[in-house]
Structure 1
């Protein structure tokens, strides 16, 4: 009888849809790939519950009023476009008022996601699990949450960690004990010389290629400690899904897989690349198409430092003056809080008037649409991972100016390993004269031509990975198969 019951149970699991609760880190750079992941899993037969914060949902609905009616479900259009998608949309508070400036008071916001948000999430997950008592279920949480394995364990869920960055950063964090033993992180590490050639899966890197938090000498500070706790929690996950490509980081992924099963399923883009079926922008997007249409092919520098990182006023002024001296056409995204929420227009006095004939400055735009436009020749970027993948997909060489977190490691891959970009400045502080030279070289010099040739090969790897028989598609299917096996064994 016992064997028959187990057989019937396994049979029921096979017939039932797998249910995944997705919990996204409340930042735009994480929301975008999480939305694509939700659609990808739903298209593979999963029933999805997507949990967003009230604050992120509020910003999305304000910025996309013409798309979302009555502040509604962000997946409405996706369900219309792709029939059969089973995605439920839920929002909960992160513990802070909607009007609270999370950009200006970042530490308080991070504290709320650590100590307040989990309580609200636990109540939501409890209700969701009770409503589906017989459905096999897993919790898919951002790798930068510190409580995911504990929450999954409490409700008997499989813990799937979603890693939104490159595999090299994950590998570095998993082996940070080696960095500490060799004196490359922690007190006195800033004067440590020599390359780092002892991390499994990574041939060599410099201390300046580590994430910004690992470059801090005081690793007892809040942000390094938070990241350490989050990545230690990720090591306790049953599975890790990564927004990267197997062929791009094969050795590094192998090193990560020694700790946790890892599935490279990137790049996670919408079908058609620019045709986004879900509104995710936290700011109203300005349409730059007509202005770009008026410029010659391959003549425009696109400048954006992403949705989250900040830049000092001094650095921004040097970059602005370097752009002015270069004489090139440019499209520049100046986010209202890029320097500070208290300084909505940090550009040098008179800059806008002086470059009016060849420059367009907007607070936000659709980056995919810009990068895929024929007029764009180069991308001056903070090296965010989404921006890196999007630029490579569009065969646009990168001019790198990393600011925070994984961006320094992304720069290493872009410039040193894949050779599809170059540094804006070799040594900080950045100076306008060097900015001018680097921009000219990228837009109209031999360096730009060489980078453009190389990036085609890397783009082909990304393209091949997401085809029906590509590695990323195969890895998604392999993850689903192995999750089902784990459920049957449970």
Structure 2
């Protein structure tokens, strides 16, 4: 008799930026004959499942997060629940499923490192998946050195504000922008710092550590953390498919609107599924887009300003720009960024957005807000040099005329655009047959079949 079909369980942190790349990996594995059970918390389960246009090869199950509905938007509550409640729920689910279909491997979001021990206790293989840049994992691995050298204290507070570069071709980051310190909440800051330190144990003992990045993008991270296997970018467009795992319904007419715009003319603006700007800065961005006098496609989520209410545009803005721009609640970003009319991406620099931009050769204006977005900004602006910094982190509002000027600089910089196109070609080569990410993914799939 032949070997039975391998059955793996996959668990993502319940935020869109984490779910989408792990779900992309799940679909690739399922297409190669691997049975996949994808675990969501109840909070996001229905939205993830409904994001599929047709039938999925991936099986979905949900587990409780232990939170009341009103608690899910309290800063730190979701993170705390994921770290404290989710591992026990996953452990129970593995036991339940094993009664009728043996799970051979647990592929888990690296940010939930305690799931490594859940896999070990269940007697199955474990794979840590990093949905962010490998540089974020390298930062976590260096926390002991940062403490020892007095860069941070044991609460994660910066003691030295000098820009830091952990190695050649690594991002240049001020310690005030370390991922744990950007949350602006001392309790949550300590929780994230402690979890990152604990997660280092799982990184050093997992069977695989795979990352949604590419070796050509992050050679320095590969040198500093050689245990990382690069398999990205995991994009639906690389599978010639539609993206799934979106938490919001995208505007169906955006692509038709882009078809009507001149080549390399549109400024695309999106701050992802969670980040956003304050009311005053929002108005300056609106005026900057208007005065840039270029077509713009602007994603403004209905919940872009929690606690403030519906975003308020400058007086007369919508009427004055109705023939210039299009404002939508959500967009099919991979298709937008691959459209020939798009000239520039104003972005919060989430890793998924960054990968989608560089994979399509679109220059960026970087406006990071929190977490790993400052690391990604440094890659874009300092290392790859395919974009410019726009946002600030000192509470000072960026005025509309500066926004207008930066848009003009990015759109008019031919050398920057040339580097962006070179990076696009590099990303395409790595993901195709014979490329490093493609071969790494093949090797990983072979290993799963042998588990």
TM-score (norm 1): 0.83
2:427 matched to 1:458? no
Q: 1:58 aligns with which of 46, 52, 55?
A: 46
Alpha-carbon distance between aligned partners in 2 of 1:203 and 1:393, rounded to the nearest angstrom: 19
Q: Which position in structure 1 is the counterpart of 2:86?
A: 117
2:298 matched to 1:332? yes
Q: 1:436 aligns with which of 399, 404, 424?
A: 404
Q: 1:49 aligns with which of 37, 49, 60?
A: 37
2:279 matched to 1:308? no
What is the RMSD of the two structures over their aligned residues, measured on CA atoms? 2.8
Conservation of the 8 A alpha-carbon contact between 1:302 and 1:378: yes
CA gap of 1:189–1:132, structure 2 versus 1, over 3 A, is closer
Secondary structure, counterpart of 1:184 in structure 2: coil
Conservation of the 8 A alpha-carbon contact between 1:379 and 1:398: yes
CA gap of 1:43–1:60, structure 2 versus 1, over 3 A, is closer
- For each residue in 1:166-222, what CA deviation from the matched residue of structure 2 results, as whole angstroms up to 9, or x when unmatched? 11111111012222233332379657354435x356567232585332467968633
Shift of 1:427: 7.1
TM-score (norm 2): 0.89
2:108 matched to 1:141? yes
Greater C-alpha radius of gyration:
1
- For each residue in 1:129-177, what CA deviation from the matched residue of structure 2 results, as whole angstroms up to 9, or x when unmatched? 23234x6x11100011142122112101111010011111111110122
Q: 1:77 aligns with which of 55, 60, 64?
A: 55
Conservation of the 8 A alpha-carbon contact between 1:209 and 1:409: no
Alpha-carbon distance between aligned partners in 2 of 1:256 and 1:111, rounded to the nearest angstrom: 27
Q: Which position in structure 2 is the counterpart of 1:36?
A: 24
Shift of 1:26: 1.0
CA gap of 1:113–1:189, structure 2 versus 1, over 3 A, is closer
CA gap of 1:29–1:217, structure 2 versus 1, over 3 A, is closer
Alpha-carbon distance between aligned partners in 2 of 1:112 and 1:217, rounded to the nearest angstrom: 16
Alpha-carbon distance between aligned partners in 2 of 1:417 and 1:397, rounded to the nearest angstrom: 14
CA gap of 1:437–1:365, structure 2 versus 1, over 3 A, is same
CA gap of 1:328–1:315, structure 2 versus 1, over 3 A, is same
2:268 matched to 1:268? no
Q: Which position in structure 1 is the counterpart of 2:329?
A: 363
Q: Which position in structure 1 is the counterpart of 2:122?
A: 155
Alpha-carbon distance between aligned partners in 1 of 2:167 and 2:99, rounded to the nearest angstrom: 43
Q: 1:239 aligns with which of 208, 217, 221?
A: 208
2:11 matched to 1:23? yes
Alpha-carbon distance between aligned partners in 1 of 2:299 and 2:281, rounded to the nearest angstrom: 15
Conservation of the 8 A alpha-carbon contact between 2:169 and 2:383: no
Conservation of the 8 A alpha-carbon contact between 1:310 and 1:340: no
CA gap of 1:274–1:398, structure 2 versus 1, over 3 A, is farther
Alpha-carbon distance between aligned partners in 1 of 2:340 and 2:368, rounded to the nearest angstrom: 26
CA gap of 1:33–1:61, structure 2 versus 1, over 3 A, is closer
CA gap of 1:148–1:329, structure 2 versus 1, over 3 A, is same
Aligned pairs, how many?
445
Alpha-carbon distance between aligned partners in 2 of 1:77 and 1:382, rounded to the nearest angstrom: 32
Alpha-carbon distance between aligned partners in 2 of 1:368 and 1:421, rounded to the nearest angstrom: 18
- For each residue in 1:48-97, what CA deviation from the matched residue of structure 2 results, as whole angstroms up to 9, or x when unmatched? 211122221223456x5xx66xxxxxxx5344xxxxxxx33222222235
Conservation of the 8 A alpha-carbon contact between 1:168 and 1:202: no
Shift of 1:224: 3.2
Secondary structure, counterpart of 2:236 in structure 1: coil
CA gap of 1:32–1:455, structure 2 versus 1, over 3 A, is same
Alpha-carbon distance between aligned partners in 2 of 1:427 and 1:149, rounded to the nearest angstrom: 35
2:364 matched to 1:392? no
Alpha-carbon distance between aligned partners in 2 of 1:204 and 1:243, rounded to the nearest angstrom: 17
- For each residue in 1:75-122, what CA deviation from the matched residue of structure 2 results, as whole angstroms up to 9, or x when unmatched? x5344xxxxxxx33222222235x5473x3232222222233333222
